[in-house]
Amino acid sequence: MNYIKTHITFLYVGLIWIISATTYTHGWSQDLSELSDLTEDYLKRSPREKLFLHVSKPYFFTGENVWFKAYYFSSKEHQSIGLSKIAYVELINKVNEPVYQGKIKLDSTGGKGSFLIPITLESGEYKLRAYTNWMKNFDPALFFSQRVTIINPFKRLGLEAPADSSYHEFKLFPEGGHLVQGIKNRVAFKFTSFKGVGSPFKGVVIDDLADTVIHFQPFKFGMGHFLFTPSPERSYRVIVKDEAGRIYFHEVPRIWDSGFVMQTNQMTNIHKVVAAYAGNTSMNGKTVYLLGISQNKLLVRQEATVQSDSAVFTIKNSDLGIGINQFTLFDPNGQPISERLIFNYPENKLKINFAVSATSTSTREALAIDITTNDLLGETINSNLSLSVYRSNGDLDYDKGGFEANILLLSELKGNVESPDYYFSANNDSIKTAMDNLMLTQGWRRYPWKEILERNTPKHSHIAEFRNHLIQGTITNTSTNRPVSNALVYFSIPDSYTQFYVSKSNYNGRIIFETKDFYGESDIVLRADPSVAEPYKINLDNPFSDKYEAVDSTHFFVDKSNADFILDQSINMQIENAFKKNLAKIPQSRDTSNFYGIPDNSYNLDDFTRFTVMEEVMREYVYHVLVRKKDGKFIFKVTDIPNHKVFQQNPLVLLDGVPIFDIDKLMKLDPLRIRKVDVLKRKYFYGHRDCHGVLSFFTYKTDLAGFGFDDSTLLSNYQGLQEERTFYSPKYDTQARKTDKLPDFRNQLFWEPEIITDAAGKATVNFYTSDETGKYIVVVHGVGKGGLLGSKYQTIEVKAPQIK
């Protein structure tokens, strides 16, 4: 059965009032100055960020490590603004379920990480995405997203194409969002196959008299456009014939009786935008407006008077931003009626050159790659680069897009873009035409004009992690399920040094903890202060986004011609996992001092005669801490040394960083499990908590010595920031190492996520080939001073050594 999915796509902006001339009488009204001011205010309150992940290769086998480098930018001029310090990375399956989630630290040069592909995954196309907490305020289409192929050689592969290979998807896109009768309209189209790639076809538009009005066919990647002037006396339909001869029928988008149509034309150094009007009510003499936004900046603000049913705007290319520019046309009342994306190519970019010491070499041989970076004018550019060398196979090495394609294009478009690097492969009219077709077919509205024009303050529910990872949650009353406000809540990570944080809930019961140097997986403890009299429960938020793009409708299959390569790679991967060395963790730079700094006294209990009762330890060894009983229960009082008196309030008592309120239970612990006691003998302010002295107990195993907690205490396991690991790269710099019998079947020859070129724009990396012959791809991505972006690819070959 032939099946085709049809979309007639309109770029609606709000309600139908965008079309009808009668709607110009509504109450809202803005002039150009007001439109500009409101837009700029929104953009300032809503800065945008971008992430790009350089992934070590485009395909993986289950059991392999994925290595990645994260580059972080603001949308403004593609340079870091330091808004966020944490990035979230996820691997997502075909039904938008995460199969891996991790957090990495960002600095001025970005961040880096890795993860192991679970051996339980099915073969298929997965999506690797990355974002910051601040980016969660906006459409998930703005997240970094890249498709990766994962193959599980131990489960049946889809080596055959799906039986329903006739599946196609056809979409029509009127320029600016809609068609109006009597006006020449540009209508873009896109025709994709079941593989999700553009497919050739032939199409016609016919009217209700069966007369052919237009012939059309795609220009590139199944995309193109035609010009169409609908008549009010006729109705229309589209007939499409695919390359297999199958014929499909489709309706033309609704044709409106009246309204404006946006028409754009690119000339040598300018863009001309025409607002053409048709309708019973004359618009002549009225003013319409055009705003242009790029890189989250308002760059174009113009007004024009309608004359002879059209208004013309002229924009210099030099006034546009680099990359995608969004033009929005506003009616005489200042309401948005049409939108269009225009791409402006950069005049300069980072040029990466590298010379490999040998493009053809043998196994276990040394290779050096000398890299230089400059701009198109030849000026040396200091740059931050990442480099990967991996074994190549044509069908699995499909183009994922280099730096320019990702930052300037993919980060601003919804849906899959086929061969994104094609649009940056040369500077000619054909590529520019293909790019404009892409803008027409995958353009979408980014800015909430209704919210902007109503002067609403942007509602950003996710705050930027501009210093450290934020752990957030709520505290609620278990009886009423209502939020508990103004509650002190404590967050602890039991450790050899005190990781202890305090938050005070707001009126919604929201709590936020700014953690510091929280790496790896740890047990955590959350509990409220005893001043919270009502029964409560604490819940933590999932820090990862729960918003996803639409499920990808493309089908995954692997051609039979790849079977031998897959088998070979699978065997290599298994041998490598059996013999490779453990990946060493890179020691993280972290502050291991306790939150209260240096204590006034620290008692290492092994320095004393060990007692078997805690009360004796406290009374005999821990000076300036008074052990008392009140109402039959133990309490501690700490001496306020600066003021020469004893605090009347109870001190903050901690056990492995966890606040303890029941001193009787603490006194029942086995003191032989306590390593040391720190005492702070003064008033100390920490967040929302003022401490009348601090008494901190540490166990040998940081296991809380078996201390039990009530049901209201939240005990959980939490994954902090990912700890970095080193990529294993063996050296064969001696004859003994070169002839070592230990097998080396690395498919990933080399990975270096952080290469900084010197003042002359130069850097060199060195590595050795493995025992695996074949073709390898060298990929370098990078960003240079001033936000210049660049990528470079080259192929090298490794052959078997000649027998002498």
pTM (2 decimals)?
A: 0.89
pLDDT of residue 15: 31
Task: Give the CA distances from residue 386 to residues 185, 378, 580, 792, in Å, rounded to whole numbers and listed in that order.
Answer: 45, 21, 23, 11
- The Cα–Cα gap between 698 and 703 comes to 9
In this structure, of 23-32, 37-46, 199-208, 453-462, the range with the lowest mean pLDDT score is 23-32
Nearest to 66 by CA among 23, 13, 108, 104: 104
The string of pLDDT tens digits covering residues 662-674 is 999 999 999 999 9
- The Cα–Cα gap between 292 and 294 comes to 7
**In contact, 674 and 699? CB cutoff 8 Å:** yes
The string of pLDDT tens digits covering residues 198-256 is 889 999 999 999 999 999 999 999 999 999 999 988 999 999 998 888 898 988 988 99
pLDDT of residue 86: 97
Question: What tokens were used for 98?
Answer: 């995460």
Q: What is the largest CA-CA distance in the chain?
A: 106
- The Cα–Cα gap between 365 and 358 comes to 10
Q: How far apart are the first and last CA of the chain?
A: 62
**Residue 35: other Cβ atoms inside 10 A:** 24
pLDDT of residue 397: 62
pLDDT of residue 394: 65
pLDDT of residue 135: 95
Question: What tokens were used for 318?
Answer: 């030099």
C-alpha count within 13 angstroms, C-beta hemisphere, residue 730: 24
- The Cα–Cα gap between 19 and 180 comes to 9
Nearest to 187 by CA among 248, 286, 261: 261
State the sign of the Cα–Cα–Cα–Cα dihedral 647, 652, 654, 659. positive
pLDDT of residue 159: 47
pLDDT of residue 558: 60
Residue range 27-34: mean pLDDT, rounded: 74
pLDDT band, very low/low/confident/very high, at 496 (cuts 50, 70, 90):
confident
**Per-residue pLDDT at 76 exceeds 60:** no
For the chain, the domains span 601-719
Phi/psi of residue 216, nearest 5 degrees: -150, 155
Burial class (CB in 10 A: 0-12, 13-18, 19+), 477: middle
Task: Give the CA distances from residue 395 to residues 398, 536, 557, 798, in Å, rounded to whole numbers and listed in that order.
Answer: 6, 56, 11, 20
3-state SS, residue 347:
coil
Question: What tokens were used for 733?
Answer: 């710099």
pLDDT of residue 399: 53
Residues near 678 by beta carbon (within 8 Å), at least 6 away in sequence:
594, 596, 599, 601, 602, 603, 694, 695, 696, 698
**Per-residue pLDDT at 723 exceeds 80:** yes
pLDDT of residue 6: 44
Percent of the chain topping pLDDT 70: 87
Nearest to 667 by CA among 640, 645, 636, 692: 636
**In contact, 521 and 717? CB cutoff 8 Å:** yes
**Per-residue pLDDT at 370 exceeds 90:** yes
The residue that leads in pLDDT, 140 or 563, is 140
In DSSP terms, 325 is beta-bridged to 342
The string of pLDDT tens digits covering residues 8-19 is 443 333 333 333
The residue that leads in pLDDT, 204 or 413, is 204
Burial class (CB in 10 A: 0-12, 13-18, 19+), 611: middle
In this structure, of 156-160, 577-581, 790-794, the range with the lowest mean pLDDT score is 156-160
- The Cα–Cα gap between 154 and 159 comes to 14
pLDDT of residue 654: 96
**In contact, 654 and 697? CB cutoff 8 Å:** yes
pLDDT of residue 445: 66
- Torsion on CA atoms 37, 39, 45, 49, rounded to nearest 10: -140
**In contact, 313 and 304? CB cutoff 8 Å:** yes
Task: Give the CA distances from residue 798 to residues 18, 342, 653, 760, in Å, rounded to whole numbers and listed in that order.
Answer: 62, 44, 64, 31
**Per-residue pLDDT at 483 exceeds 90:** yes
> What are 214-222's contacts with CB under 8 Å, separation 24+?
216/189, 218/189, 218/191, 219/433, 219/434, 219/437, 220/422, 220/430, 220/433, 220/434, 220/437, 221/197, 221/418, 221/419, 221/434, 221/438, 222/190, 222/191, 222/192, 222/193, 222/197, 222/198
Residue range 636-656: mean pLDDT, rounded: 94
Nearest to 374 by CA among 346, 353, 345, 354: 353
Hey, what CATH class is 601-719 in?
mainly beta
3-state SS, residue 555:
coil
Provide the mean pLDDT of the chain. 88
**Residue 530: other Cβ atoms inside 10 A:** 11
The DSSP annotation for 324-336 comes to EEEEEEE-TTS-E
